[in-house]
Amino acid sequence: MLTTNAETPTTKPSKPPASTNALRDSKQRRYDRKIDRAKIKARSEIDLFGWHKHNYAANDYWISAHVDTVERIDVDRVSKDEFIRRFEEPSLPVVITGCTRSWAADQNWSKEVVTFFVVNLYLLSHYADQTFKIGEDDSGNNVYLKLKHFLYYADGATGGLQDDSPLYIFDSGFERSGRGMKKKSKSSKSSKSSKLKSKTKPTNGSSSDDEDEGDNDVSPLKRRKVEKEGEARAGAKKETAPKKSRTLLEDYAVPEYFVDDLFRLTGERRRPPYRWFVMGGARSGTGIHIDPLGTSAWNALLTGHKRWCMFPPTCPRGLADPPMKSWDREAVSWFTHVFPRFLKPDPADPRRTLGERWGMVQCLQGPGETMFVPGGWAHVVMNLDFTIAVTQNFCSPTNLESVFLRTRDSRPKLALKLSQQIELLSQRPDTARAFAPLRDRLALLRYVPSVEPSSGSSSSSSTSSSSDVVDEDGVSATESESDTSDGTCMCKKCKMTRKRKMKGHGNAVEEEGEGKIRER
């Protein structure tokens, strides 16, 4: 017998309980408050309602494939020697494919849509409560945000998707696992141990030596049983003790072309910040800059797309980096207001554009591609969608002279340490062949005069590495925690040390003034 539609039972989809919606709304409001506080700290010059006043989200910043003129090479098909000869020695940018094939990050750092915001399941499960740097406050202190809060913001309809230049994770301390995470309370453990002690403690005032013979509340057999149970639990806990927390450093490896980083000889403590974990949504990034100390950089993209615009060292500084308001030096502002100038005809030769005259290079970097940026090239980078990347600056044997001269003038202790290590390795039989030529090259630089830090360099903030120029206040505009070109270290420890000294100097001056007034 056929059944009609009227006879077919229909079930309406069940609505989520009101308590579930209320809980979700409460969580969203709590996250929103966290984001607002971070915005106020990181960009105090912008009102909370002014983060999307330019409506840059309505603009299309994607470029077509034919505009991308950067050559692509495969790491498995081009040897290291060929890479040095074709790209590093002539100082030419190149995109390298295949570097991330064997990385755990290639699988772990992809994003998925879950519940009410975009998350990365792997990163969220391992680092949800770990804090990452998203900027600095007016006092130069780092501003941090938990990963779960940032991921919620990055894809929020009223947050990162609408902001003109969204918040951006650019963290050089990402190798510190558990940063910002609350430690488990020891109160429960102490209470348990106190209870155990109270059971085994003598009640007649006898010492621990004659504890077994004393008149205790707990019989010797029962006390021994408790002790055995405690030892068993301690042994089991020791056997199943968790290993050291996993860090993001374990998810990637330095590509073969860039393993010869000479700065590693100076030690992790002495060398300036050089590697960063980078995450952000569309239009995030930072403005035009040159990497510090003449170093080159590589930037491996795991998720999303980045738009690059690069200028060779021959491009005039003021052309690629014209004067702009210090609070409006973001990448999206540069691409909106400065980039169109390079598409106009060159006044000296109308048959070409201004960008063609000065060697401007554009690139659209996709997932799995690694960008090589030679030292001295000014570049600006903007994310076109949600991106996750890792980047490092390095000093290789190829660019040793350029890096050493800049380091000698701005970071003399670092340069001295580097030269000493190269000298020591040049005397060892097993490393003399590789380091003796480097020692001889450094010896030739001994009488090269100092060069002004700002000479021949472009400016200011950073997205894939750090800055080589200081802003109007004498402080690097970079978010990469690196040092300024005048040798001032911008790590948090050094900044706080200078702040304390300035505060102490101010107090001394104030006390001196009060003393003179009393003398009068």
Contact 357, 348 (CB under 8 A): yes
**Pairwise CA distance, residues 11 & 196, whole Å:** 57
Q: Which of 103, 110, 251 is nearest to 175 (CA)?
A: 251
Phi, psi (rounded to 5 degrees) for 299: -135, 110
Which of 28-42, 164-178, 185-199, 473-487 reaches the highest mean pLDDT?
28-42
**Arithmetic mean of pLDDT, 277-288:** 93
Lowest mean pLDDT among 123-127, 347-351, 505-509: 505-509
Domain parsing of the chain, residue ranges: 25-178+248-394
pTM of the model: 0.73
The mean-pLDDT minimum among 65-79, 336-350, 375-389, 494-508 falls in: 494-508
**Beta-sheet pairing, 168-171 with 387-394:** unpaired
Q: Is the pLDDT of residue 179 over 80?
A: no
Q: What's the average model confidence in pLDDT over 351-376?
A: 96
Q: What six digits make up the tokens of 283?
A: 């239009």
Which of 9-18, 41-50, 303-312, 508-517 has maximum average pLDDT? 303-312
Tokens of 244: 């050291």
Q: CA 175 from chain center: how many Å?
A: 10
CB 422 within 8 A of CB 435: yes
DSSP β-ladder status, 142-146 and 131-136: antiparallel
Could you please report the per-residue DSSP string of 228-292?
HHHHHHHHHHHHTPPPPPP-GGGG----GGG---GGGGG-TTTSPP-EEEEEE-TT-EEEEE--G
Query: Rounded distance, CA 433 to CA 422, Å?
Result: 12
139 CB-near residues (< 8 Å, 6+ apart): 499
Q: Is 275 exposed, middle or buried (0-12, 13-18, 19+ CB in 10 A)?
A: buried
Q: What architecture is domain 25-178+248-394?
A: Sandwich (2.60)
**pLDDT attached to residue 181:** 58
**pLDDT, greater one: 436 or 18:** 436
Fill in the DSSP letter of residue 209: T
